[in-house]
Amino acid sequence: MKSLTAFVISATVSLAANATPAIKLPTGPLYLKFSGQEQIAINKASTWTDGKEINWGVFIMSTIEKGDVDIPNDEIDPNGDIFFVNGAQKSQITGMFYGIERGTPSATNPFPATKGYMDLYWRDLSVMSKTSLASTANGIRCGYSCAKGYTEGTFLARLMFDTGMDTGNALNTIVGSKVPSSKGFSGVADSYASVDMRKQGLWSKQLDSDYFHTKLGMRDLRFKNSYNYNAKWNGKTDVLGARLDDPGQAYVLPEPGALSLFGLAGLGLIAVRRRSRATGSKAGR
């Protein structure tokens, strides 16, 4: 029995040693690139049983690189300093977006949307199989916020699409340039997102930066994605498939633990200075 127990403990320690922990995000501006597949409902159709959702999809993060601030609190550009690549170092970042509902159209926002969430996961390839973008939507979705191969592993953060991009509407969260059609379509969608702190993950506090300023308030991330018709991801009537490529921008805060260390270091420095002053005062007496 002791030998068996020792073996189990040894195997557990060995597995932990070989596991690939999620990367720590460097502080400052970041530029994220990812690709995915999605379904979009038109003509009052829906992509979920609630009859409200009109858009959901899955994605894989391609790269993450450090960025440069182009316009303060508004635009971040990539600078080529890539520190994460999909599949490298036995790891992936995958996820799902869902719950996006029909918005109010206008001349400047022909295909709007409101609400919606995006969940990010760290996939450790030392213990999990590598995920590729599915060629069809069949069998992928396993629940409202569940997608096989994409919502597994270490939970990183939940983002909620937020208002501010559509300056003419206080409820729209996404500005879409092209109304999807079964005849084919290609468009661009712009949006902001804020970290949903009601469900916190490993990156939630770092991404909760309030960096991007809008007329409707401060936001944490900014997205600009292209969407192009992909009939292989079509669903039921009036549910159309699309391929997406989506650069994102974020400004990362220091880890909470690091802030605590900075605070302790500051207190220590103050204490040293006070002690030095007290010593000098005594010596002068």
Say yes or no: 261 and 207 in one domain.
no
Q: What is the pLDDT of residues 176-191, one digit of tens each?
A: 999 999 999 999 999 9
Say yes or no: 120 and 225 in one domain.
yes
Please name which of 228, 200, 244, 201 lies closest in space to residue 61, comparing C-alpha atoms. Answer: 244
Say yes or no: 247 and 266 in one domain.
no
Say yes or no: 179 and 261 in one domain.
no
pLDDT at 257: 63
pLDDT at 281: 42
**Amino acid (1-letter code) at residue 161:** F
List of residues 6+ apart from 97 with CB closer than 8 A: 38, 55, 56, 57, 59, 116, 117, 118, 119
pLDDT at 255: 87
The residue to which tokens 């303060």 are assigned: 72
Which pair of tokens denotes residue 32?
Answer: 């994220």
CA distance 215 to 196: 20
Say yes or no: 78 and 216 in one domain.
yes
pLDDT at 18: 60
Say yes or no: 113 and 244 in one domain.
yes
**Does any domain span residue 11?**
no
CA distance 205 to 192: 17
Number of domains in the chain: 2
**Does any domain span residue 216?**
yes
Regions of the chain where pLDDT drops below 70? 1-18, 257-285
Say yes or no: 231 and 276 in one domain.
no
pLDDT at 152: 97
Please name which of 28, 56, 51, 46 lies closest in space to residue 119, comparing C-alpha atoms. Answer: 56
**Does any domain span residue 223?**
yes
pLDDT at 274: 46
pLDDT at 168: 95
Q: What share of the chain is helix, strand, coil (3-state, %, to 5)?
A: 20, 45, 35
pTM of the predicted protein model: 0.85
**Does any domain span residue 17?**
no
Per the CB < 8 A criterion, the answer to whether 126 and 20 are in contact is yes
DSSP 9-56: HHHHHHHHHH--PPPPPPSEEEEEEEEEEEEEE-TT--SSTTS-EEEE
Per the CB < 8 A criterion, the answer to whether 243 and 37 are in contact is yes
**Amino acid (1-letter code) at residue 69:** V
Q: Are strands 212-214 and 154-162 parallel, antiparallel or unpaired?
A: unpaired
Say yes or no: 43 and 130 in one domain.
yes
**Does any domain span residue 15?**
no
pLDDT at 270: 42
- Cβ neighbours around 141 below 10 Å, total: 22
Which pair of tokens denotes residue 194?
Answer: 């804020």
The secondary structure element, H or E, covering residue 264 is helix 256-283
Say yes or no: 149 and 39 in one domain.
yes
- Phi and psi for 4 in degrees, rounded to 5? -65, -40
Say yes or no: 135 and 243 in one domain.
yes
pLDDT at 5: 45
Q: What is the pLDDT of residues 39-63, one digit of tens each?
A: 999 999 999 999 999 999 999 999 9
**Does any domain span residue 191?**
yes
Say yes or no: 94 and 114 in one domain.
yes
Say yes or no: 262 and 200 in one domain.
no
Give, as one character, the DSSP assignment of residue 109.
Answer: B
**Does any domain span residue 228?**
yes
Full domain range(s) for residue 54 = 28-253
**Does any domain span residue 201?**
yes
pLDDT at 215: 96
